[in-house]
Amino acid sequence: MSSLSTPAQNLLRKRSPRSTPRSGSPTGEHGSTKSPSRILVLGSGNFGSCLADHLATSDLIVDVWLWSRDAATVKSMNEDHKNPKYLTEHVFPEWLKAVGPELPDKEFLKTMDMLLFAIPTPGLRTFLGGMNSLLDQDNLPLLAFVNKGIEAKTKALTLEIIADTLGPKAAQQASFISGPSFAKEGTLALGDPILRLAEIDCYSVGAFKVVKRQPTTVSVASISEEHALKVSELFHQPWFRCYPGTDPIGVELAGALKNVYALAAGVADGLGYENNTRAGLVTRSLAEMTRIGQSYGASPLTFLTLAGVGDPAARDRPVVLLHSFSSEFDPQSVLVGMATLGDFLVPAVFLTCSSPNSRNYTVGYRLGQGQKLDDIIKTLGSVAEGVSTAEGLHEIIQEIGVEAPIAEAMYSVLYEGRSARDAAEELMNLPAAKREIEDCSETGHAAAILSKLRID
């Protein structure tokens, strides 16, 4: 049986995939419904599977296919409507069809309105290279990407990988989806002692199970505002709210870098440190993320969006509202100031950065407990992109000269054999900072990316 349980959710399972679309669905010139949008989701892991389910059961009229490289997964999805490896208890709609393990041919891809890539970053370049000859460059479908990470050897963002493999046009049109949206998530920990503070207004924040139709919000960014809006329209539902934007570099960096800092948050918990430590750690992590983003030409405000502040906040504990923003505030201080983030966002959001549903947090936690990385990876069962991102990020930090001691400490634990406790003690013994908030100017990386995209 499906894990969906509420009457509204059960209705989604029973309805026909050709039911009347909700208000705002595409219609023709004379009011007739357009042909269904055709969508292919590439990748049948946790996130690919849950987004295929989301699209297939939306109020829009769509036809959805899920590609898997695993023949057993294709067979199980088509016959039993279950994914044998991910979200294993969930029953997918019978009209969601699986294809694979071979890639669909060129004629099939020509009929698609959107390709959604849920391929981990380490394998994305090879995968896109194999797809290049199958795509019509003069008539590209919408291209949406949900992977997060920096390619370790080349230090490339996904935007650059797309430009290298599919060409500048594809990169300019590509959209990136990022935000607090765990594919599966645990029950709210309503017994958290922090809720005993009776006079504090409590509320829950972050993402809940996408497949359970609990409210989820994401950023959708593209160089092309038109394409970001089109992708948002296909995903947007009453339970899945999209916010389009035009800073894909910032959204990509926020989504990639937060994985490294989620590792650090896990390490802190694994070492036995408590809330004050985590609050300071994640606040300073956001300062590092913002500085790195600025060096790439990204807007510092992007790190205050769902892709930045929102994504590390996707955890399974209730949170507490300690303060309210005034009507006038300095965005830069909100982004990286300990007084604002430390008192407002960290207790209200980042103290929740402790979920076992985060693969990166889990790796960090186990490292903090003294386990070896190789042993952790063998038993994890899925990719923790922060591990590979930390390697590429280390090279970037060395090149651009941005101060990022937390990211460098994580690199030393992952790749240089340093113990987590030694790395933590070294961080606390760094010389006193000259100032808390420090701007970082653009570097050559921003110009190099624009050159790849053939944008002046």
Annotated catalytic residues are 258
Contact 40, 116 (CB under 8 A): yes
Assigned token pair, 362: 């889990």
Kindly state the DSSP code that residue 309 receives in the 8-state scheme.
I
Kindly state the DSSP code that residue 27 receives in the 8-state scheme.
B
Which residue, among 253, 262, 280, 279, has the nearest Cα to 367 in the 3D structure? 262
Assigned token pair, 198: 């009776």
Q: Are strands 201-203 and 319-321 parallel, antiparallel or unpaired?
A: antiparallel
Contact 108, 34 (CB under 8 A): no
What amino acid is encoded at 331 in this protein? Answer: P
Cα(119)–Cα(391) distance, integer angstroms: 19
Residues 6 or more apart in contact with residue 449 via CB below 8 angstroms = 157, 159, 160, 249, 296, 297
Contact 118, 176 (CB under 8 A): no
> Cβ–Cβ contacts within 10 Å for residue 442, how many?
13
What amino acid is encoded at 282 in this protein? Answer: V
Residues 6 or more apart in contact with residue 123 via CB below 8 angstroms = none
Assigned token pair, 265: 């948050």
Residues 6 or more apart in contact with residue 435 via CB below 8 angstroms = none
**Cis bond before residue 120 (omega within 30° of 0):** no
Cα(313)–Cα(205) distance, integer angstroms: 7
Per the DSSP assignment, residues forming a β-bridge with 63 are: 38
Contact 297, 408 (CB under 8 A): no
User: What do you get for the CA distance between the two ends of the chain, in Å?
Assistant: 54
Helix-then-strand count for the chain, H and E: 18, 10
Residue 115 Rama label (left phi>0; alpha psi -120 to 50; beta)? beta
Contact 220, 177 (CB under 8 A): yes
Cα(174)–Cα(22) distance, integer angstroms: 26
Mapped onto helix, strand or coil, the DSSP state of residue 12 is: helix
What amino acid is encoded at 419 in this protein? Answer: S
